[in-house]
Structure 1
Amino acid sequence: MFDTLANLVPRDNDLPLRAWRLEVWSRVLDGSIYDVLTYQFHEEKNGAGEYIPVRERRPSVRTGLIRTVVDDSISLLFSEGHFPSVECKNEDTKAALDAVTKDAKLNLAMIDAATRGSVGSVAIAVRFLSKRVFLQVMATTYLTPVWSAEAPDTLDRVGERRKVDGKTLVAAGYDVKDDATQYWFEREWTAIAETWFVPRKVADKAAARTVDEARSNNHGLGFVPIVWVKNLPGGDDIDGEPTFGVEPINTTVEADYLLSQAGRGLKYSADPTLLIKETAATDDGQPMVRSAANAIVVGEKGDAKMLEINGTASEAVLEYVGRLREFALERMHGNRSNADKLSAAQSGRALELMHQALIWLADKLRASYGEGALLDIYRMIVRGSAKFPLTINGQEFGKLADNEPVTLSWPAWFPPTADDRQTLATALATLIKVGSLSRETAVRIIASDYDITDVQAEMALIDAERKQLIAELPTEQTKITSNA
């Protein structure tokens, strides 16, 4: 069924095949894949009185299972409680990156990027304006990357090419006719400039490409300020594998139509069809009104029945749909745990085991969007500060030092319970006491659980409070504490 729907999505032969493929995946993600069908599910006949097959109608029930799995996996990536902290030995660089993270709302940008990129790929543009950093998440349907021959993991340039009509260009400030005439809109990003081109009419095949000097700019960064993210391993040099595949989509479409049919059957059950075997003796030619106050009178050999549907079929459909849901979630590594079966509060480890399949999916996405894209963004910010010194919330950071590597520290998948924290505290205290772990490392371990953003500042506070406590103790007690 999915192939039937996909083939109904218009394809532009002037664009590469991947543009059509990404358009189809995007429609699946936002639920608009059914918009290619003309009729609503309740429309059983067309204007000519002809029966409309179910496959040509839009289902009235949408499970939205694909988007649910995507949103759940991304919540384990970049939600407020799961966003990684940046680590760097250079404290000034770390402070600047922490400030940029909050000022640029980096967690929201990464959530947007991971959502759009679930269809295969996404591009994140890094812009330096007014001594600040801005991020622009772009769908890659009309973008084409070109990789460096000497460094295949480094972008040489990125081109954008799409069709727009005159009305769209007029709204964007272009001096063209305000009509439906189609134009090519083109841009290109390189290591030295962002180049815009004057829109050309699609019908004018011989028109030369002309640079739009007014809109183009030379950033001179020395690198293409775009991070290209491939969603999951697989795919090709441009796009990775989507978070969902053809099998879960087919299963979801099947469930949507089954639930729509089940809903249709329930409506018929609530309003059963009247069958009169012989014309009623009191038939006066008026329409029969079915109600408790209106009796049906038939002839001596007549009969009247109500055609009803029992609930057995509906229960069978719901059970079948439940199995389909399990199959689809298993294929996509979604969350199959049932909250109704939880009898008591669970520890963080127990919750991890319950959501193991979803964690496996989120763990793979961490490699693409965390260790890959997010770190590349931080490195671009550090390199870009050499040309565009940063000032965040009135604090001048200037040029950032790029001689220390930047890494990410990820929090636990699920917040620990009080018992979990007590167990961890006991273990850390024992390791510190026997000399197997430093106090600073222990603070780093618990930093995400206790919202400690600056480990060095926390260590300074601990040392200051320790010294004050020792100073307030009696002399003999001070000697014992100091020796300890």
Structure 2
Amino acid sequence: MDWLALQDRMPRDRALPERCFRLSALESVLDGRHYDVLRYPFSAERNGAGEYVPLDERRPSVRSNLCRVVVEDSVSLLFSEGHWPTIQVSDARTATALETICQASALKQTMLEAATRGSVGSVVVLMRVVDGRIFFDVLRTAYLTPVWSSSDPRELSELIERYRVKAEDLLAQGHAVEPGGDYWFERHWDDRVETWYLPYRDGADRKIDVERSGEHGLGFVPAVWIRNLPASCDMREGPDGGCTFQAAIDTVIETDYLLSQAGRGLKYGSDPTLVLKDPGLGIPQGSAAHVGGASNALMLPPEGDAKLLEINGNAAAAVLAHVQQLRAIALEAMHGNRAQSDRLGAAQSGRAIELMCQGLIWLADRLRISYGEYGLVSLLRKICLASRRLEGGLVVGDAHVTDLDDAGLSLSWPDWFPMGPQDRQAQADALGRLVEGGIMTQAAAERIIGRSYGISVMLGGGT
């Protein structure tokens, strides 16, 4: 069974756009839920009527979830604690304020979640300002519809969220609805207000939920739409980018079924079926074999034979070798890490590890453009803009900050892997010669080397 056949078994709401179903299906792969639509477990060879259950109707007993592994590995190289970029801006006061806001609002965790959820194609990071404090939330885009600005195709002019929800779930959240059936849940964001609508059924009129709606006063849509692995930055070409792992889904499905079947074969090899020939059973001449007896042995008619139904152990070894090849193909398709850690004989330098993980680094390097230059930078610019638009500014620590200047805002990314002693010595010698020769300033050298030694260098100026 391939990915297209598995998608045909998934439930689909025809009232929603096709991209909603596609993104939801990819999210099920990311979460490891894509086999849940299959009715029978892998051990169920026959259904209640005694009919044989084909393999493609059974849930694999082994789920490698290799797609999630590659996504988490690439995201770790992107926004983990050791790979979080340094914020650079011309104004030193703004740089300090942005670093403080990132820590207070848990922006690192938000971007980790956004890069993971966005691996299916796109993600939205929503910004809220409550009493001067900034909060972030990650929204899945399967139920979101963007409206782009005519003057800047990277900016939202409106964001619409709409999906079906059970009446019981609405009642649990305090909505006054009639029990039973489905309702539409909808809310909009624009540059002035956040509008909630009361849940409504098909064909009913929408009514604004006055209690939950309100003005945010920011003058821009408080959300950033991030496309995963985009071909260009023009959002009007499509709201979604490429999926990180879609090219390997078919191969991963094949791997899961092979591993499940191999495990099934090993169990049969450990407990082979006993075949008996018993003339006293009274089985008619020429009749078919059947399973019976206290030990579930296979009973044969008199003209049959007696033996043990066993599986050759070489078959299991062949399956495992084939699975290793499939795994390599899947990792190559996703640009995952194909290095074998058990083959490393000694400690390697940071540069050597980069060469071994080159494919994964190439993937993370492309993600830096999506989630760094067009994601994190856009959020930081909106923070600066909010400090100028809101009365009283933003709360940073124990003070109120206004008029943050985002001129020269950029990100400085750390090395992919920690440097070894020889790497540090070579870097120190090179930077020393550049500073002595007047090619590089002392401040620029400190900024480059500060990350390697865990030194926080807060510089507002350029190189």
Name which of structure 1's ranges 100-109 and 145-154 shifts more when overlaid on structure 2: 145-154
Alignment match of 1:454 (pick from 444, 449, 457): 457
Aligned partner of 1:287 in structure 2 is 294
Shift of the alpha carbon at 1:436?
A: 2.4
Greater Cα radius of gyration, structure 1 or 2: 1
Segments of structure 1 that go 5 or more residues without pairing to the other structure are: 291-300, 458-484
Aligned partner of 1:372 in structure 2 is 374
Aligned partner of 1:89 in structure 2 is 90
Aligned partner of 2:397 in structure 1 is 393
- CA offsets per residue over residues 381-419 of structure 1, 9 Å max, x none? 00011234122332x142133262211000000011111
Whether 2:270 is the aligned partner of 1:273: answer no
Aligned partner of 2:130 in structure 1 is 129
Whole-angstrom CA distance in 2 between matches of 1:403 and 1:272: 72
Aligned partner of 2:159 in structure 1 is 158
Whether 2:139 is the aligned partner of 1:138: answer yes
Identity of aligned residues (%): 49
Whole-angstrom CA distance in 2 between matches of 1:280 and 1:423: 87
Whole-angstrom CA distance in 1 between matches of 2:190 and 2:380: 19
Whether 2:410 is the aligned partner of 1:407: answer yes
Shift of the alpha carbon at 1:131?
A: 1.8
Question: 1:309-388 maps to which residues of 2 (within 5 A)?
Answer: 309-388=311-390
Whole-angstrom CA distance in 2 between matches of 1:288 and 1:10: 42
Whether 2:180 is the aligned partner of 1:173: answer no
- Residues 194 and 216, structure 2, Cα contact 8 Å, conserved in 1: yes
Aligned partner of 2:207 in structure 1 is 210
Aligned partner of 1:474 in structure 2 is none
Relative to structure 1, is the Cα distance of residues 441 and 209 closer, same or farther in structure 2, using a 3 angstrom cutoff? same
Shift of the alpha carbon at 1:449?
A: 1.1
Aligned partner of 1:262 in structure 2 is 262
Relative to structure 1, is the Cα distance of residues 269 and 392 closer, same or farther in structure 2, using a 3 angstrom cutoff? same
Residue identity in the other structure for 1:379: R
Shift of the alpha carbon at 1:9?
A: 1.1
Aligned partner of 2:190 in structure 1 is 190
Shift of the alpha carbon at 1:160?
A: 0.7
- Residues 88 and 404, structure 1, Cα contact 8 Å, conserved in 2: yes
- Residues 159 and 188, structure 1, Cα contact 8 Å, conserved in 2: yes
Residue identity in the other structure for 2:451: S
Paired residues in the alignment total 438
- Residues 24 and 33, structure 1, Cα contact 8 Å, conserved in 2: yes
Shift of the alpha carbon at 1:49?
A: 0.8
Shift of the alpha carbon at 1:453?
A: 2.0
- CA offsets per residue over residues 360-386 of structure 1, 9 Å max, x none? 100111000001100000000000112
Aligned partner of 1:478 in structure 2 is none
Relative to structure 1, is the Cα distance of residues 303 and 146 closer, same or farther in structure 2, using a 3 angstrom cutoff? closer
Whole-angstrom CA distance in 1 between matches of 2:406 and 2:130: 24
Whole-angstrom CA distance in 1 between matches of 2:409 and 2:49: 67
Whether 2:193 is the aligned partner of 1:199: answer no
Residue identity in the other structure for 2:77: L
Whole-angstrom CA distance in 2 between matches of 1:328 and 1:89: 44
Whole-angstrom CA distance in 2 between matches of 1:456 and 1:149: 36
- Residues 387 and 404, structure 2, Cα contact 8 Å, conserved in 1: no
Relative to structure 1, is the Cα distance of residues 201 and 433 closer, same or farther in structure 2, using a 3 angstrom cutoff? same
Aligned partner of 1:227 in structure 2 is 224
Relative to structure 1, is the Cα distance of residues 5 and 303 closer, same or farther in structure 2, using a 3 angstrom cutoff? closer
- CA offsets per residue over residues 15-71 of structure 1, 9 Å max, x none? 111111111111111111101100000011111111100110000001111001100
- Residues 95 and 458, structure 2, Cα contact 8 Å, conserved in 1: no
Aligned partner of 2:16 in structure 1 is 15
TM-score, scaled relative to structure 1 = 0.87
- Residues 92 and 400, structure 1, Cα contact 8 Å, conserved in 2: no
Aligned partner of 2:38 in structure 1 is 37
- Residues 124 and 138, structure 2, Cα contact 8 Å, conserved in 1: yes
Residue identity in the other structure for 2:396: I
Aligned partner of 1:475 in structure 2 is none
- Residues 231 and 241, structure 1, Cα contact 8 Å, conserved in 2: yes
Residue identity in the other structure for 2:370: S
Whole-angstrom CA distance in 2 between matches of 1:168 and 1:46: 34
Aligned partner of 1:249 in structure 2 is 249
Aligned partner of 1:115 in structure 2 is 116
Whole-angstrom CA distance in 2 between matches of 1:80 and 1:173: 39
SS of corresponding position for 1:385: helix
Give structure 1 regions of 4+ aligned residues with deviation exceeding 4 angstroms.
278-281, 301-304
Question: 1:69-80 maps to which residues of 2 (within 5 A)?
Answer: 69-80=70-81
Question: 1:101-112 maps to which residues of 2 (within 5 A)?
Answer: 101-112=102-113
Aligned partner of 1:418 in structure 2 is 421
Shift of the alpha carbon at 1:351?
A: 0.7
Q: Which has the higher contact order (CA 8 A, sep 6+)?
A: 2
Shift of the alpha carbon at 1:304?
A: 4.4
SS of corresponding position for 1:306: strand
Shift of the alpha carbon at 1:280?
A: 8.6
